[in-house]
A and B are shown apart, each in its own frame.
Chain A
């Protein structure tokens, strides 16, 4: 973990799905019309692969994934828990 702010990586991933729309970090991405509700699965798999974390069942809630800020907070929390939550 080199930085507490993971938003640039999250924005970079999301950029291709939002075209010219400038997504704000607290904007509900599922309310924009650019992605549908099934996109959340892609987002979860991206977060797991990009940050080498495992999102547990109890964290699979839409409120953890609907804004960039929420995703960033989840990633920060998961990384802080440490190696125990990381994939082998």
Chain B
């Protein structure tokens, strides 16, 4: 597979902005689409902030596409610091899918709503050339079902990126029923260009990551709900006893509690198994707008001013 140059990113939320940043930092042209100019303006601010803090957090710097050494070699080394504006110029913000006729690869990151996703894939199928590969960055929706919403099910796969995208080196890749070996190879090429690698799994609700993680997060919320332990105690136990980098409730705040709830509900619907019933406290927090890091308050406070 030849080098992937232009990547469409659909949905400019937490994942879409992180992905756009990671792609631009590694030299890709990015088309970032969402529904309104307001969302795109917020996305640009988020990406600017992400670029500003990239070095502090240890994100990968920009790749040099003209470099003819083996990709693995140039991805491993520290890259020279590129001007923030240079990286930002690689990202085109759009509400209308302009430029998608040039897209080599598209990654969809919209909310986990099947009705909305169907509409997006129909539109992508119409505007993108036949060669374009579609990757769904979904947490729970079956890849096979997404493939069936397009005229190119062999060119659809799942790529479950982890948050924050610029910092996470591994991606869960999901093969749908009709996904071709060539499509998987193309996705691996893109990941190599991003300085990441993929672990391939078969299509099943929640795949590997979320089948376990969402249940863990939901159970951790139950512990808080029942007063067995506070959020900080739950998280510290996971970090200090198990060596996890983050506890389940910090992770929930990072992902967004609305996304957690949608994922747990998705698993509940997919398996018809009561073990995936969402904790009432999780539902209440989402109803109250306590969505975690992105809303400034979840299980923790994300304020940047003194109390």
A73 in the interface (beta carbon within 8 A): no
B245 in the interface (beta carbon within 8 A): yes
Within 8 Å CB of A49, what residues of B? 304-305
Determine whether the beta carbon of B302 is less than 8 Å from that of A60.
no
Q: What is the interface size of chain A, counting residues whose CB is below 8 A from a CB of the partner?
A: 25
Shortest Cβ distance from B22 into chain A, in angstroms? 16
Closest to B239 in A: A33
Shortest Cβ distance from A2 into chain B, in angstroms? 16
Within residues 23 to 65 of chain A, which ones have a CB less than 8 A from any CB in chain B?
Answer: 33-34, 36-38, 40-42, 44-46, 49-50, 57, 60-62, 65
Closest to A48 in B: B304
Within 8 Å CB of B300, what residues of A? 17
Given contacts A45-B304, A46-B304, A60-B52, contact A34 B250 (CB under 8 A): no
B288 in the interface (beta carbon within 8 A): no
B57 in the interface (beta carbon within 8 A): yes
Given contacts A12-B307, A16-B301, A60-B52, contact A36 B232 (CB under 8 A): no
Contact with A along B52-96 (1 / 0, CB 8 A): 110111000000000000000000000000000000000000000
Within 8 Å CB of B250, what residues of A? 36
A19 in the interface (beta carbon within 8 A): yes
Determine whether the beta carbon of B304 is less than 8 Å from that of A42.
yes
Contact with A along B283-297 (1 / 0, CB 8 A): 000000000010000
Within 8 Å CB of A17, what residues of B? 300-301
Contact with B306, one of A9, A36, A60, A62 (Cβ below 8 angstroms): A9
Q: Roughly how many angstroms separate A57 CA and B85 CA in the complex, as a whole number?
A: 14
B236 in the interface (beta carbon within 8 A): yes
Shortest Cβ distance from B130 into chain A, in angstroms? 41
Within 8 Å CB of B52, what residues of A? 57, 60
Within 8 Å CB of A44, what residues of B? 53, 56
Question: At the interface, is chain A mostly helix, strand, loop or mixed?
Answer: helix
Closest to B254 in A: A38
B164 in the interface (beta carbon within 8 A): yes
Contact with A along B35-59 (1 / 0, CB 8 A): 0000000000000010011011100
Determine whether the beta carbon of B305 is less than 8 Å from that of A36.
no
Determine whether the beta carbon of B306 is less than 8 Å from that of A34.
no
Determine whether the beta carbon of B57 is less than 8 Å from that of A40.
yes
Q: What is the interface size of chain B, counting residues whose CB is below 8 A from a CB of the partner?
A: 24
Q: Roughly how many angstroms separate A38 CA and B239 CA in the complex, as a whole number?
A: 15
Within 8 Å CB of A19, what residues of B? 232
Q: Roughly how many angstroms separate A60 CA and B160 CA in the complex, as a whole number?
A: 30
Contact with A along B221-241 (1 / 0, CB 8 A): 000000000001000100110
Closest to B84 in A: A57
B246 in the interface (beta carbon within 8 A): yes
Shortest Cβ distance from A87 into chain B, in angstroms? 15
Contact with A40, one of B56, B236, B246, B301 (Cβ below 8 angstroms): B56
**Residue among A40, A45, A49 with most chain B CB within 10 A:** A45
Given contacts A12-B306, A42-B302, contact A33 B236 (CB under 8 A): yes
Excluding A38-B164, A42-B304, 19 further A-B contacts by CB distance (< 8 Å) are: A13-B305, A13-B306, A19-B232, A36-B245, A36-B246, A37-B245, A38-B57, A40-B56, A41-B49, A41-B53, A41-B56, A42-B302, A42-B303, A46-B305, A46-B306, A49-B304, A57-B52, A60-B53, A62-B56
- Interface pairs A-B: 5 shortest CB-CB: A45-B304, A60-B56, A46-B304, A33-B239, A13-B306
